[in-house]
Chains A and B, each alone.
Chain A
Amino acid sequence: MHRLNKIKVLIIIWGMLISGSAFSQDIIVVCPDCKVSSIKQAIEKAKSGDEIVVKNGVYKETGIRIEKKLSIYGENFPEIDGQNLNQEIISVAHDSVTISGFVVKNVGVSYIDDLAAIKVYEHKGCVIENNKIQNAFFGIYLNHSNNCVIRNNEVIGEAVAEMSSGNAIHLWYARDILIEGNLAKNHRDGIYLEFVENSKVSDNVSEGNLRYGLHFMFSNHNTYSGNTFQNNGAGVAVMFSRFITMTKNKFYKNWGTSSYGLLLKEIFDGEITNNYFEENTVGIYAEGSNRMKIENNDFKSNGWAMKILGSCMDNTFTGNNFFFNTFDITTNARTFESNKISRNYWSEYTGYDLDKDGIGDQPYRPVKVFSFVITRVPASIILLRSLFIDMLNFAEKVMPVMTPSTLMDEQPLMKPADRSAF
Chain B
Amino acid sequence: MIKILKYSIYDLGRSHWTFIYFGFYLLIAGTLLFLGGDVLKAIISLMNIILILIPLISTIFGIMYFYNSRDFIELLVAQPVKRSSIFLGQYLGLSLALSVSFLLGMGIPFLFYGLKDSGQFMNFLSLILTGSFLTFIFTAVAFLIGLFNENKIKGFGLAILFWLFMAVIYDGLFLLSLLMLEAYPIEKLALGMTVFNPIDLSRIFIMLKLDISALMGYTGAIFQDFFGTATGLTITILALGLWVFIPVYGLKLKGNAKDF
Contacts and interface: CB of A to CB of B under 8 A. Distances in A.
B218 A326 contact: no
Interface stretch (B64-72, B77-85, B209-217, B248-256): B209-217
A255 B182 contact: no
Residue among B175, B218, B223 with the most chain A CB within 10 A? B175
A388 B200 CA distance: 11
A377 B223 contact: no
Nearest to A390: B48
Contacts, number: 83
A381 B178 contact: no
Interface in A354-401: 373, 376-389, 391-392
B220 A380 contact: no
B209 to A, nearest CB: 13
A257 interface: yes
Interface string B163-176: 00001111110110
B215 A381 contact: yes
A259 interface: yes
B79 to A, nearest CB: 43
A384 B216 contact: yes
A350 interface: no
B159 to A, nearest CB: 17
A376 B167 CA distance: 24
A258 B219 CA distance: 11
Interface residues of B, number: 34
B206 to A, nearest CB: 9
A256 interface: yes
B182 A303 contact: no
B235 to A, nearest CB: 16
B217 A384 contact: no
Interface in B24-79: 47-48, 51-52
A281 interface: yes
Contact of A377 (B172, B178, B211, B216): B178
Given A386-B200, A388-B168, A388-B172, A379 B214 contact: no
A378 B219 contact: yes
For this complex, into which size category does the number of interface residues on chain A fall? 20 to 34
A256, A376, A377 — most chain B CB neighbours (10 Å): A377
B123 to A, nearest CB: 15
Nearest to A389: B171
A259 to B, nearest CB: 7
Given A376-B182, A377-B179, A380-B178, A386 B217 contact: no
Contact of B220 (A304, A377, A381, A387): A381
Contact of A257 (B51, B168, B178, B217): B217
Given A326-B212, A377-B179, A385 B47 contact: yes
Nearest to A380: B178
B203 A378 contact: no
Contact of A303 (B47, B174, B186, B215): B215
Contacts of B215: 281, 303-304, 326, 381, 384
A324 to B, nearest CB: 10
B132 interface: no
Given A255-B214, A257-B218, A303-B215, A385 B207 contact: yes
A373 B207 contact: no
A384 B171 CA distance: 10
B165 to A, nearest CB: 11
Given A377-B182, A389-B171, 10 more contacts: A257-B216, A257-B221, A258-B217, A303-B212, A382-B223, A383-B171, A386-B203, A387-B51, A388-B172, A392-B172
